[in-house]
Structure 1
């Protein structure tokens, strides 16, 4: 009996030691899990705080963009900041938004001048509550927004030659329309005739009507013709789309592909321009000066605004014969000039020229108003008449000119034009004329679509080009 008790006692001691080890093992595992749970909780809190700070800093950066954009609508607001060109807030939402403008080839820090075409706002936003446990990634966010920059005045638009009812060119005519958007010459409702002796059109043509070559005419571009294309001895260097063609097939008279179709791109509608001086403002929003033409005669000398360099509208609508000029007259522009008249008849004037007083570009608009709002040109004869030039009429570089008339353009004998022509009635250019496209446009209208454009009174941001988060 005593022996059994001793053995049992010996057996009981190891069992008690093993139980203790088990308890210690369970405790160690528990501590490990507790540590993991604690680390997970702490890590999750750090991630959560980083997410929170990222949302806050992103919202602050966006607020900086909004503040800068709003400020750019107000004249002088950008330059009036504590640091000109920087919008900043030291309280929530905290941001620093810096302004740059596109200067033609590079971005320049500072408030945009009227020559700017785009603005860039770079906003650095700071979180109200920073991340914890080393989670600092969301503490700051940088956002970059690029916007168009709009200024008052005239947005250049339109093609080189818009001849609503068509026209004719002949006798060594030379037209450089290569920079014109789409087709450089457009006919809305009529025919285009290229007649006689070596006319060259560098650019494309779009004719809602018939196209006829009766001489050695060359179109160095593409032609779209809704009706018949009669090529004669002429040539189209690129493609031709026409309702019919003669000869058929056109062979080498078409350098590209001929497509038999009367479906062509749409020509923009006629734009009706009235005498509305209030529509003409400069890049600061200041209206053009308005005055009449003394003795209804163009000066052989300076013509421009009363204030140096400021644009002017010359109202010659009461001149029964339109503006007149003497032989060998050089009108020297000292600013941009708009002349409103019911006709411009320079057919009896030799060597009438328009030049700039300096190397600066000056623009001149010759406008005969369309007095009837019926979505087509209305030339009200006998009060209104054609724009007629002969014998050395010249628009000299760097002057740029736009003609708008519901009547016709009639040019002959070596005239030279830089700019645009918009004519309602069947027009003509004969005997060695030269034409170079430069876009000028008209106020309140996009000449490429015929749609109205909004009038703005001061420089301001336009549509968003891009908006993105960038690396700090």
Structure 2
């Protein structure tokens, strides 16, 4: 039908135009694409930036676009028939912008982990489970640990202290509750005690299918994957002396004020270092690549903003083996990779948010305070009065929600199709 083909052509014209910076705004009526000769169509663009659909070209904060196209037949229907004279089609697309997109949950501990001794994990901003374990156990030991949010474990859940999950728990193996509790629902292959009684505030279900846990995301040292919101690449600064491996008790950021920087500290033997009572004041977003982050001998290390501006910091130990699983290349491997280890006071201070990615372990002890995300490969620990607050950060080049890779873009453009349908009229 001619009108249907014309409407489809309008969708295609607007969709193609939105790949070129400024094309939408350059139309005679911004946000409106018109074909005045066959195929004849009028296609209007709308965007959603979180407050519902708005007419016009997408804003910098848009996450979806909608194109509604009306096509007109070249020849009107015969004998007064008009049903095919015009057709209307709606297509909704994701809208992609340059920069690091937030993805993932609060804590993704591939190989399992332990939390204990007055640990407080606030994962409640995550949709679904805020703590996931792909292939291991969660051990909640000793005193008064509180997990605000839900947990998803492809292994066993063991409470050996007064641990509390203020959410639901999905467990592939056994749930040994001890003196702990799950506020909402529990799904597990088995539970002890059985029945769980008041230890489960909602419903206990035996052997139910677990939600999907994303696979391990492979993050290497790929500076070209890192671009800012304008599509400009991050500055890359390589550490070339042992003295430069020492983090400053003062400002750290891009050479151009406010512009993000990658610090390549992969050549620092034992990873970056810091003196006691160090406060690193960020002047921009900062990515630090290192084979390990060994701060366990440092007393009182903080990352704060140099002003009131919010910044992000990434601590990245690359996974060099692309096999869909974490590969921590410890000595005697030439990379000499190791854990991200903190002890005796480590703080990510508001408004800074931090993302840790490591194929090795996260070892947090003695009062660390973290705002952001932790993504670790080996069995990890959070012990002795730690506080963790989930804030989405993400990593360039990967989607932590799926475990897959993403394509780096340098200008805003339509993404995948969300929906497409014919409309009346």
Size of the aligned set, in residue pairs, is 418
Q: Could you state the TM-score of these two structures normalised by the residue count of structure 1? A: 0.80
Aligned position for 1:436 = 389
1:113 aligns with 2:59: yes
Q: Is the 8 A contact 2:217 2:405 kept in 1?
A: no
1:100 paired residue among 39, 42, 46: 46
Contact 1:225 1:264 in 2 (8 A): yes
Cα distance in 1 between the residues matched to 2:409 and 2:283: 26
Tell me how far apart the structure 2 counterparts of residues 371 and 60 of structure 1 sit (CA, whole Å). 50
Q: Is the contact between residue 218 and residue 398 of structure 2 (CA under 8 Å) also seen in structure 1?
A: no
**Comparing 259-268 with 115-124, which one deviates more in the overlay?**
259-268
CA shift, 1:255, in A, is 1.6
Q: In 2 relative to 1, CA 429–283 (structure 1 residues): closer, same or farther, beyond 3 Å?
A: same
- Asked if the contact 2:13–2:33 (Cα under 8 Å) also holds between the matched residues in 1, the reply is yes
Distance in 2 separating the partners of 1:74 and 1:212: 54
> In the alignment, does 2:167 pair up with 1:218?
no
1:258 is matched with which residue? Answer: 204
> What are the superposed Cα offsets for residues 357-409 of structure 1, whole Å, 9 maximum, x if unpaired?
45543221101112333433232223222111123311122322111112211
Query: Shift of residue 165 of structure 1?
Result: 2.0
| Larger strand share, 1 or 2 | 2
Q: Which of these residues, 311, 315, 326, is aligned with residue 260 of structure 2?
A: 311
Normalized against structure 2, the TM-score is what?
A: 0.88
Given that residues 225 and 262 in structure 1 are in contact (C-alpha distance below 8 angstroms), is that contact kept between their aligned partners in structure 2?
no
Within 5 A, what are the aligned runs for 1:399-418? 399-418=352-371
Given that 1:399 and 1:418 are in contact with CA atoms closer than 8 Å, whether structure 2 keeps it comes out as: yes
SS at match of 2:37: coil
| Distance apart, 1:137 and its partner CA | 7.5
Report how far residue 72 of structure 1 moved: 0.9
In the other structure, the counterpart of 2:296 is 347
Q: Which moved more, 1:231-240 or 1:286-295?
A: 286-295
Q: Which residue does 2:139 correspond to in 1?
A: 193
CA deviations on 1:417-451 (whole Å, 9 max, x unpaired) are 11111112221111211111122222333323323
Match of 1:277 among 211, 218, 223: 223
Distance 1:239 1:229 in 2: 12
How far apart in 2 are the matches of 1:185 and 1:217? 15
Partner of residue 29, structure 1 = none
Q: Could you tell me which runs of 5 or more consecutive residues in structure 2 were left unpaired when the two chains were aligned.
A: none
Q: 1:70 aligns with which of 16, 25, 28?
A: 16
| Structure 2 contact 49–59 (Cα < 8 Å) conserved | no
Deviation at 1:146, TM superposition (A): 2.6
Decide which structure has greater helix share: 1
- Equivalent position of 2:272 in the other structure: 323
Deviation at 1:351? 2.8
The counterpart of 1:423, out of the listed 366, 376, 386, is 376
Deviation at 1:136, TM superposition (A): 7.1
Shift of 1:276: 1.5
Q: For the residues of structure 1 that align with 2:417 and 2:79, how far apart are their CA atoms?
A: 38
Distance 2:191 2:422 in 1: 56
Q: Per the alignment, do residues 252 and 107 of structure 1 end up closer, same or farther by CA in structure 2, a change over 3 Å counting?
A: closer
Do residues 239 (structure 1) and 182 (structure 2) align?
no
- Radius of gyration: which is bigger? 1
Q: 1:140 to 1:218 in 2, by over 3 A?
A: same
Give the root-mean-square deviation of aligned CA atoms.
2.7
Which one of 433, 449, 472 corresponds to residue 402 of structure 2? 449
